[in-house]
Amino acid sequence: MYEGLLMAKIICVANRKGGVGKTTLATNLAVALNNMGISILIDAVEQQSAFKWANQRDDIECIFIHSDLLEKLEQLDKEYEYILIDVAGRDSTIFREALLVSDTLIVPTQPSLLDLQVLDYMQEKVKTAKQTNENLKAYVLINRAAVRTTELKDAIEFIAEFDQFKLLKTVLFERKQFRDAIVESKSVTEMNASKAKDELNQLIIELL
């Protein structure tokens, strides 16, 4: 573990492939972490979608960072109990730095073979990071799964072949409530009762 970061719990949400619901997951987790303690969301993605989402609220602290992540984290470490990083998974300095300091990595993926193929690349990055950050816990989350799909069983078997990842039991399905929550700058946990809300609460219990 990077010596300068010993206090805050650091969670990284990353995937090289777009369209897997990475930022939607990060914003929902940001609300959960904010309810648990003093937290901050770091948006390290050029589009700044999470940053724009947080700016529509007055309770989620969020900053945008495009470089010098380790230096910034050293400053934040003593101020926050939880630090959540939303970062693109392409090979970049900021992604490698995020893996070096994170306690937990979550890789959201849709259950299609096209989406799952990126796990080869992600596993290599995890292996490299663990040479320094040996306590890094890496999880795969099946996300945006079709409600009626035959892909889940095959996806679970495919993910089981990756020894650096643990598959989370919770599955988040493709539901309108997740899209509505982003538009309204909310988490599904803050909206009316729904299957999306139940799924996210189940994930929070499993993960946190």
Give a yes or no: residue 60 inside a domain. yes
The set of residues, in sequence order, having a beta carbon less than 8 Å from that of 161 and lying 6+ positions away, is none
Going residue by residue through the chain (208 aa), what tens digit of pLDDT does each one get? 555 555 899 999 999 999 999 999 999 999 999 999 999 999 999 999 999 999 999 999 999 999 999 999 999 998 999 999 999 988 999 999 999 999 999 999 999 999 999 999 999 999 999 999 999 999 999 999 998 888 999 999 999 999 999 999 999 999 999 999 999 999 999 999 899 999 999 999 999 8
- The total of structural domains in the chain comes to 1
Give a yes or no: residue 121 inside a domain. yes
Give a yes or no: residue 207 inside a domain. no
Give a yes or no: residue 186 inside a domain. yes
Q: What is the CATH number of the domain that holds 78?
A: 3.40.50.300
Give a yes or no: residue 82 inside a domain. yes
Q: E strands, the chain, where?
A: 9-15, 39-44, 62-64, 82-88, 104-109, 137-145, 166-173
Give a yes or no: residue 4 inside a domain. no
Give a yes or no: residue 208 inside a domain. no
Q: Give the residue numbers spanning the domain of 162.
A: 9-202
Candidates 3, 138, 4, 1; CA nearest to 73 is: 4
Give a yes or no: residue 3 inside a domain. no
